[in-house]
Structure 1
Amino acid sequence: MIASPLPYSPYRPRSTREKASGVSATEPSLIPYVTLREGEEAAPATLAFVQEWPGNRLRLRYTDKEPEDRDVRGALWGRCSQNRRDQWNMPTGKPLWRLMHPSRQRECMQTMRCQVCVQPAKTPLGYIFLAGPDDYTPHESTIVTAQPPMCARHVRAAAMLCPHLGGRPLVFLAESAPLYGVHGTVYGYGQGGVHAVDQPDFPLRYGDPDLPVFLASQLVRRLSVFRRLSLAELLAELTAFRAPVPHQTGSVHACPAA
């Protein structure tokens, strides 16, 4: 049985006034911006195939297409509703912890913003990415992830509160994380019209020949130059970087390498 596509949506950039300002101490709980909420559902799909790809190949599109339907590399994205925002401009509704809203995931991954507060995620040490303790083997040299980065302010809380991380996440400190591809659903055409034919577990790389018939779900980046750390090691390095350096005659202070 072919599973229906997950509720993914096109990226809709927010204006400067709409950008989330972070999580304040008076907020009721720490819920990441990217988390899907109850009431946010897939919009009715109006998908069709057209012969518009180089070589006259079929390409998937919406019959009521909009510019935001495709990302910067031309991948088509699913559509999903968004709940109203609260006084902190964060989504409302009961969180569905194991799911990410596709539009908000895409927003954070495309702009490299923290998945909790939507502020720029780059730290003085580089970009922080978290993964579950069993998500990768110790010897993997190529890491691809659909988890948006974390800012230094929220990394400890996220590690402790997220059941998947269990307080002992794998920490990747990356100098760069170029775009890699997308997770999603392969579509085909047959009896009954356009329909889903496959949901691969692995991401489709940009440039793959199946991209024209793919409905994207999550944006994926590849960590190119990175270090593996424990949470304790990361927090120690962040603390050391912020700590004032005592004056020592004849010594030079070197910041931790990213």
Structure 2
Amino acid sequence: MTALPLFCSQPPGPKEMPSAVPSTSEPRLIPYITQRKGEEAAPDNLMICLHVSGPRLYYRDEDPRDRPVRDVLWARCGFNPADRHGMPTGEPQWKLMHPYRQMMTMRTLRCQVCAGPARTPLGFIFLAGPKDEDPTQSTICTNQPPVCPKHARAAAALCPHLEKNPLVLLARSAPLHGVHGVVYGLNTDNEVHVVAQPDYPLPFGHPDIPTLLASQLIRRLSSFQAMNLDELQRELSAAA
């Protein structure tokens, strides 16, 4: 298969990402993972071919960058120009996460707000809506990339879903678990079409992964402490 240019431009690598953005007092603080106006999904350009392991979803002009994690096909989306800080430009679409930037920050465990390193001496900080998860569970799967200590409160304030009172999950272990996306198949006319839109993540190795177009990378949190933002600040201050 001949590889043609991608719909989207090559995103910046982790070393090119900024380590900080303006403080929450400045009105233009927008999380790095937020999709911007003008960053549109690519037109449908999909096909299903028989692979040695069975049917598999492809782009007709596929590029190696289309499979950034464990050979899973990723949803294409445009990239707006970056500003002088290396941050995306354009009006934020607050309810949407850019599929590639979500994947990139989740894969490299970088902050979803500033794209800087998210590791703390106590592990990684993940946020969830106050009613989203049962903190007594032994493991929790999340599509939300971590946040750095500097931007934990900013993320809580900017995301309406977190209601400014998120459940904080301070995790020492957060291995990759799977992906969320749309499963494709062939209809009676041998045309590619959507056959399933699971509302739960598919773990790597799931039989539907070969024909899935992924839009979010999922991590599984284990060995974590559940707390609120004030408790997080006390824990981090004590560990400093």
**TM-score when normalising by structure 1:** 0.84
Alpha-carbon contact 1:187-1:194 (below 8 Å) kept = yes
Residue identity over aligned pairs, in percent, reads 56
Q: CA deviation at 1:45?
A: 2.1
Alignment of 1:200-239 (within 5 A): 200-239=198-237
- The more displaced of 111-120 and 10-19 is 10-19
Give the corresponding residue for 1:35: 34
**Please, which runs of 5 or more residues in structure 1 have no aligned partner?**
1-8, 243-258
The yes-or-no answer on 1:178 pairing with 2:175 is yes
The yes-or-no answer on 1:61 pairing with 2:58 is yes
Match of 2:102, as an amino acid?
Answer: Q
Match of 2:141, as an amino acid?
Answer: V
Give the corresponding residue for 1:246: none
Instruction: Name the SS of the counterpart of 1:108 in structure 2.
Output: helix
Alignment of 1:139-218 (within 5 A): 139-190=136-187, 191=189, 193-218=191-216
Match of 1:238, as an amino acid?
Answer: L
Alignment of 1:93-172 (within 5 A): 93-172=90-169
RMSD over equivalenced CA pairs, Å: 1.9
Give 1 or 2 for the bigger CA radius of gyration: 1
Give the corresponding residue for 1:78: 75
Q: CA deviation at 1:21?
A: 3.4
Q: State how far apart, in whole Å, the 2-side matches of 1:127 and 1:138 are.
A: 16
Alpha-carbon contact 1:133-1:169 (below 8 Å) kept = yes
Alpha-carbon contact 1:10-1:68 (below 8 Å) kept = no
Q: State how far apart, in whole Å, the 1-side matches of 2:128 and 2:9 are.
A: 24
**TM-score when normalising by structure 2:** 0.90
Q: State how far apart, in whole Å, the 1-side matches of 2:52 and 2:127 are.
A: 37
Instruction: Name the SS of the counterpart of 2:234 in structure 1.
Output: helix
Alpha-carbon contact 1:10-1:70 (below 8 Å) kept = no
Change (3 A) 1:217 1:17: closer
Instruction: Name the SS of the counterpart of 2:192 in structure 1.
Output: strand
Q: State how far apart, in whole Å, the 2-side matches of 1:44 and 1:150 are.
A: 32
Q: How many residues align?
A: 232
User: What per-residue deviation string (whole Å, max 9, x for no partner) do you get for residues 69-95 of structure 1?
Assistant: 113311111111011111211111111
Q: State how far apart, in whole Å, the 2-side matches of 1:77 and 1:93 are.
A: 23
User: What per-residue deviation string (whole Å, max 9, x for no partner) do you get for residues 102-136 of structure 1?
Assistant: 00000000100000111111001110000000111
Instruction: Name the SS of the counterpart of 1:137 in structure 2.
Output: coil
Instruction: Name the SS of the counterpart of 2:160 in structure 1.
Output: coil
Change (3 A) 1:71 1:214: same
Alpha-carbon contact 2:11-2:79 (below 8 Å) kept = no
Q: CA deviation at 1:22?
A: 1.5
Match of 1:32, as an amino acid?
Answer: P
Give the corresponding residue for 2:21: 23
Q: State how far apart, in whole Å, the 1-side matches of 2:142 and 2:109 are.
A: 13
User: What per-residue deviation string (whole Å, max 9, x for no partner) do you get for residues 42-73 of structure 1?
Assistant: 1112111111132xx11111111100111331
- The more displaced of 197-206 and 154-163 is 154-163
Instruction: Name the SS of the counterpart of 1:219 in structure 2.
Output: strand
Match of 1:215, as an amino acid?
Answer: L
**Please, which runs of 5 or more residues in structure 2 have no aligned partner?**
1-6
